[in-house]
Structure 1
């Protein structure tokens, strides 16, 4: 994976973790609120280790109780 993609995954993961912690949710809570996610997948996303699919994005949004658009609202290039 190239360096730019890696950096983007890390930034996205940090954003997701921030959203989750602001909502006072554990990774277990998010997994329980979603349809198919498990804690390990959420951890991989938050740590920038997973390039997720569109359906995973939708499930993550459901687990966080957010609209999928909100998961993408962060500064990608900062």
Structure 2
């Protein structure tokens, strides 16, 4: 994976972590609110360690109670 992609995954992960924190949700609560996520996936996304699919994005949005577009509203390089 190239350096810019890695940095953008980290920025996305930080954005997701910020949203989750602002909602006062734990990773476990996000998992419970979603249909298919597991805690390791949420953790990997927040830490910029996982590239994910569209369906995972939808599951994450559901777990956070947000529209998917809200999850993509962050600055990238």
- State the TM bucket, normalised to the shorter chain: over 0.9
Alignment of 1:18-29 (within 5 A): 18-29=18-29
Q: 1:27-71 deviations in whole A, cap 9, x for unaligned?
A: 000000000001110000000000010000000000000000000
Name the count of aligned residue pairs: 77
- Normalising by structure 1, what TM-score? 0.97
Name 2:14's counterpart in structure 1.
14
TM-score normalized by the length of structure 2: 0.98
Alignment of 1:75 onto 2:58: no
Aligned Cα RMSD in Å?
A: 0.5
CA distance in 1, matches of 2:70, 2:38: 21
Structure 1 residue 76: Cα displacement: 1.4
Corresponding residue for residue 56 of structure 2? 56
TM superposition outliers: structure 1 runs of 4+ over 2 Å = none
Name structure 1 gaps, 5 residues minimum.
none
- What does residue 40 of structure 2 align with? 40
SS in 1 for 2:13: helix
